[in-house]
Amino acid sequence: MFESLSDRLQAVFQKLGSKGRLTEDDVREAMKQVRLALLEADVNFRVVKEFVAKVTEQAIGEEVTKSLTPHQQVIKIVHQELINLLGTENVPLQEARPGPTVIMLVGLQGTGKTTLAAKLALHLRKKGKRVLLVAADVYRPAAITQLQALGRQLNIPVYSEGTQASPPDIAEHALEHARKELFNVVIIDTAGRLQIDEPLMQELEQIENRVHPIERLLVVDAMTGQEAVRVAETFNQRVKLTGVVMTKMDGDARGGAALSVRAVTGVPIKFLSTGEKVDGNTLEVFHPDRLASRILGMGDVLSLIERAEQLYDAEQAKKMQKRLSKGEFDFEDFLNSLHQMRKLGPLQQIIAMIPGLNQLARNEELLDERHVKRVEAIIYSMTPEERRRPEIIKGSRRERIARGSGTSVQEVSQLVKQFQQMQRMMKQLASKGGKGRGGIDPN
């Protein structure tokens, strides 16, 4: 997501950073580069113009040029203006009181509407809601079966009347059903078209009049760039949108759509979708500040923590803390930690969220998942006794483990050696923690 834009902006700031004091010309030159980087990322040109003007005005001010850390001041200004551009704050989904909350998803065909319906249902169920999915895309029979299959997979009910009923009727009947069965949220997957056309717009208006959805979310494909922004403008004129969801942010989209849509239409982005799979890792609540930080290579620790919290196993963590505080971390614990981390998502995604490590996230060799698999294979080939007491892993044991894991004796030796170093470090930390402040609390 935003990799090339992120690279280019960081290069501009690095160059500025190498200069020490900054003159007005330095700032103007840097802004020229920023402008190019944004245009190349397919950000709307009017948006770029305004953005660069705002940043320049602040950056050539005395406060920056006279400051001891001028280039950091410039980054701070760009960061803040990016946040403003993206909408300042997250705008959460509204809830209807009394319920059920009706969410209508609209958008062109193939943008990922049906997939998003399922992701959103999963997201809301995690928050304790009873969700009903509604198949109102009657023109594409596969859309109904696709939604039903996703519903079965997630164990979320799908309301459907086949392809013969009219979508406004389906929506109204679904809402009646939801009221009777005490569902909290109704998500309507409406029909898409290849192009915007009048019958589609009329149908959406009819659905709107019948069920009064409190949320009218437009699903747009980030890969379509400026076209996505134009589509958003048109939909917003007919169905007053309450939010936009950007899909396919995992693709090689240059990101311009996400950066322009709010500024052009005034409609907030509410979610980003980042993959074909429907699971807890591929739908992100949109936070302007976090995205701005990620674009500028400052990481996104908050999103990482949120993800971790969702998957956090409190029992396991407590056990681990106790063992750590006694300096007892062994290969068994190491394996557990690896598994916990894996649940967070692909290694590359995780690293990219940590400040300062986003460059590292592109180092394929270092982050090779195969390397992690080899480490796992080596640990799996150890006996329980060896996992508990790595110091007994000597000559013939190393050979056996290498054979068992399909690796080499050197690799086994290296892992054992590194692990023992880590153990020593942890023991030191643990003993310090026992004596002073800031230690690890075993309870």
For the annotated binding site for GTP, the residues are: 107-114, 189-193, 247-250
Q: Which is nearer to ligand GDP, 78 or 147 (CB)?
A: 147
Which residue, 199 or 438, has its beta carbon nearer to ligand GDP? 199
CB of 271 to ligand GDP, least distance (A): 10
Q: Which is nearer to ligand GDP, 107 or 256 (CB)?
A: 107
Q: Which residue, 59 or 222, is less far from ligand GDP as judged by CB?
A: 222
Closest to ligand GDP by CB, 251 or 384: 251
Can you say whether residue 355 is alpha, beta or left, with left for phi > 0 and alpha for psi between -120 and 50 degrees? beta
Shortest Å, Cβ 112 to ligand GDP: 3
Looking at residue 68, the DSSP 8-state letter turns out to be S
Nearest-CB residue for ligand GDP:
112
Assign 246 to helix, strand or coil. strand
Q: Render 144-201 in DSSP notation, one character per residue.
A: HHHHHHHHHHHT--EE-BTBTS-HHHHHHHHHHHHHHTT-SEEEEEE---SS--HHHH
Looking at beta carbons only, is 143 or 204 nearer to ligand GDP?
A: 143
Residue number, 232 or 379, with CB nearest to ligand GDP: 232
Annotated binding-site residues read: 107-114, 189-193, 247-250
Closest contact distance (angstroms) between CB of 171 and ligand GDP is 16
Kindly list the residues in this chain that would bind ligand GDP in the complex (CB under 6 A). Answer: 107, 109-115, 143, 146, 192, 247-248, 250-251, 273-276
The kind and range of the H/E element at 245 are strand 243-247
Q: In the complex, what is the shortest distance from the CB of residue 162 to ligand GDP, in angstroms, rounded to a whole number?
A: 17
In angstroms, what is the minimal distance from the CB of 179 to ligand GDP?
Answer: 26
Which residues make Cβ contacts (< 8 Å) with residue 285, sequence separation at least 6? 90, 92, 270, 271
Q: Is the separation of the CB atoms in 189 and 105 below 8 Å?
A: yes
Q: Which residues contact 53 (CB under 8 A, 6 or more apart)?
A: none
Minimum CB distance to ligand GDP, residue 248 (Å) = 4
Q: Give least dist CB 86 to ligand GDP, A.
A: 19
3-state SS record for 335-374: HHHHHHHHHCCCHHHHHHCCCCCCCHHHCCCCCCHHHHHH
Question: Encoding tokens for residue 158?
Answer: 């799908």
> What CA–CA distance (Å, rounded) separates 353 from 357?
8
Q: Is 94 helix (H, G, I), strand (E, B) or coil?
A: coil
Using alpha carbons only, how large is the chain's radius of gyration in Å? 26
Chain position carrying tokens 């086949």: 162
